[in-house]
Structure 1
Amino acid sequence: MNNKPTLHTSLSPALLHLYDVRDSIVVIIDVLRATSTIATALYNGAKSIIPVDSVARCIELGNQMDAITAGERDGKVAEGLTYGNSPFEYPREFIADKTLVLTTTNGTKLLHMALNNGAPTVITGSFPNLSAVCDFLVKENRNVILGCAAWKDRFNLEDTLFAGAVISRIKENFHINCDSSQMAETLYLKGKTDLYEFMREKNASHYHRLNGFGLEKDIRYCLTPDGANVLPFYEDGRLVVHGK
């Protein structure tokens, strides 16, 4: 009898309903750029991040709490918000001890879907906090769903590569009978020596989109492990550093 916890990968928010999140840790993955930015802001001392699914709610909460309002739609700063979704917008001297209200095209939407479906534990994952995610999942020894935010419900490469990176590190601790997890690991192992070059070579849609906005620096940062190695943990309506 196999008594290891299970691990599954949902390649898109449109597929999340196929998985029972109610007894699992759900990892929200939106590498370019929401979850990379969340990890970076918290690593740089943000008090908390409140993820919301609409620009209007973002502005409303920002006014109520005197918080920083930020977010993007289709890769650009959302209309009505001051700041966007680049990790470089949140250095320590700007974000330390502040609350950030954030809305993004894909990542915050998926986070709310997981919560609405009854997920008891939600964390966010990206290459900048890869080790923190892996260490937490192994230590907790519970079922895991790696949830890729994708792009408007369409599969994307970078979130799947991150899922594969997690799987390649922790698979010995889990029972994995999941074809999307096998595929994610295969892709990661193929591209891991230079993820940026792999994305470029495959002409990945999100690479193409962000490069069109001159955001090569963002892409490279978001594909580099452990530059902001903290664990964003969702509790009481906000993301905070786990164990802090």
Structure 2
Amino acid sequence: MANNKPTLYTCLSPALLHLYDLRNAVVVIIDVFRATSTIASALHNGAQCVIPVDEVAKAIALSKNIEGSIAAGERDGQIAEGLQHGNSPLEYDRDFIGNRTLVLTTTNGTRLLQMALDNEADTIITGSFPNLSAVCDFLIKQNKNVVLGCAGWKDRYNLEDTLFAGAVISRIKENFTIHCDSSLSAEIQYDLAKDDLHGFAPKLTHYHRLVDRFGLIEDIRFCMTPDIANVLPLYKEGMLLKG
């Protein structure tokens, strides 16, 4: 009997993205700490849109041409030089970001999104634990091939993005053909951590990069909490919009 289910693959690093065919797929950009969590937070709290860019200079230039916009972002976990706002999901509450445009640049996540565009991705969304259900619902309804793209850390593997990929897979795997060891690995690792994601977080190297150096424990808690900003960021014409 023919298997007509779409396929699902997990790309564990931006350095591997060229190995996957994105042209007829939904690509999920995953940068749990913290870009895709911040995108979900901003849109959930009423931002008109988020414009992801890969360079600080682009963010500054764009924001000057968009009334009411905010140029924001980070490099190596800190607010990037030349910007006044960073990449904390807690920074973008409704009073601050409501009805405004966020122009965002980050070390890993926005770079991966640009790479997906360069590789002719058909549809791009962003995902993290705060919008886990919205991502899963969208992928099932689309019934298209999926590539879960982990942003990692400067092309290196990281575990938090893989855990989120595993969370998605555990929810939607019955709807897809999965013949991909990285996807199997992601689900196995998620199964080990899912009962206490917050307790698991201190095992992660990026946790210590953000908490030990910058004290961002509340950011981490937000980023590891499912469905607290359950919106679907959908990329259209240069913008991530609430889908």
TM-score bracket for the superposition, by shorter chain length: over 0.9
Aligned to 2:117: 115
Aligned to 2:4: 3
Q: CA deviation at 1:226?
A: 0.2
Q: CA deviation at 1:174?
A: 0.3
Per the normalisation by structure 1, the TM-score is 0.97
Aligned to 1:164: 166
Q: 1:58 touches 1:70 (CA, 8 Å); kept in 2? A: yes
1:172-191 equivalence runs, <5 A: 172-191=174-193
Of residues 128, 131, 146 in structure 1, which corresponds to 2:130? 128
What is the alpha-carbon distance in structure 2 between the residues aligned to residue 119 and residue 207 of structure 1? 30
Aligned to 1:78: 80
The one-letter amino acid of 1:131's match is S
Aligned to 1:34: 35
Q: 1:5 touches 1:142 (CA, 8 Å); kept in 2? A: yes
What is the alpha-carbon distance in structure 1 between the residues aligned to residue 201 and residue 73 of structure 2? 24
What is the alpha-carbon distance in structure 1 between the residues aligned to residue 96 and residue 178 of structure 2? 42
Q: CA deviation at 1:166?
A: 0.1
Q: What do the CA deviations read for 1:135-189 (whole angstroms, capped 9, x no partner)?
A: 0000110000000000000000100000000000000000000000000000000
Per the normalisation by structure 2, the TM-score is 0.98
What is the alpha-carbon distance in structure 2 between the residues aligned to residue 109 and residue 196 of structure 1? 27
Aligned to 1:216: 217
The one-letter amino acid of 1:166's match is V
Please state if 1:206 is matched with 2:206. yes
What is the alpha-carbon distance in structure 1 between the residues aligned to residue 158 and residue 110 of structure 2? 16
What is the alpha-carbon distance in structure 1 between the residues aligned to residue 178 and residue 100 of structure 2? 40
What is the alpha-carbon distance in structure 2 between the residues aligned to residue 211 and residue 194 of structure 1? 18
The one-letter amino acid of 1:211's match is V
Q: State which drifts further: 61-70 or 107-116.
A: 61-70
Q: Secondary structure, in 3 states, of the residue corresponding to 2:187?
A: helix
Aligned to 1:12: 13
What is the alpha-carbon distance in structure 1 between the residues aligned to residue 105 and residue 124 of structure 2? 17
Please state if 1:57 is matched with 2:42. no
What 5-or-longer segments of structure 1 have no aligned partner?
A: none
Q: What do the CA deviations read for 1:109-145 (whole angstroms, capped 9, x no partner)?
A: 0001001100010000000000000000001100000
Of residues 142, 145, 151 in structure 1, which corresponds to 2:144? 142
The percentage of aligned residue pairs carrying the same residue is: 68
Q: 1:49 touches 1:100 (CA, 8 Å); kept in 2? A: yes
Q: What do the CA deviations read for 1:77-113 (whole angstroms, capped 9, x no partner)?
A: 0010010000111000110110010000000000010
Please state if 1:89 is matched with 2:81. no
Q: CA deviation at 1:62?
A: 0.8
Q: What do the CA deviations read for 1:33-57 (whole angstroms, capped 9, x no partner)?
A: 0000000100000000100000000
What is the alpha-carbon distance in structure 2 between the residues aligned to residue 230 and residue 56 of structure 1? 28
Q: 1:157 touches 1:199 (CA, 8 Å); kept in 2? A: no
Q: Secondary structure, in 3 states, of the residue corresponding to 1:5?
A: coil
What is the alpha-carbon distance in structure 1 between the residues aligned to residue 103 and residue 5 of structure 2? 37
Q: CA deviation at 1:234?
A: 0.2
Q: How many residues align?
A: 240
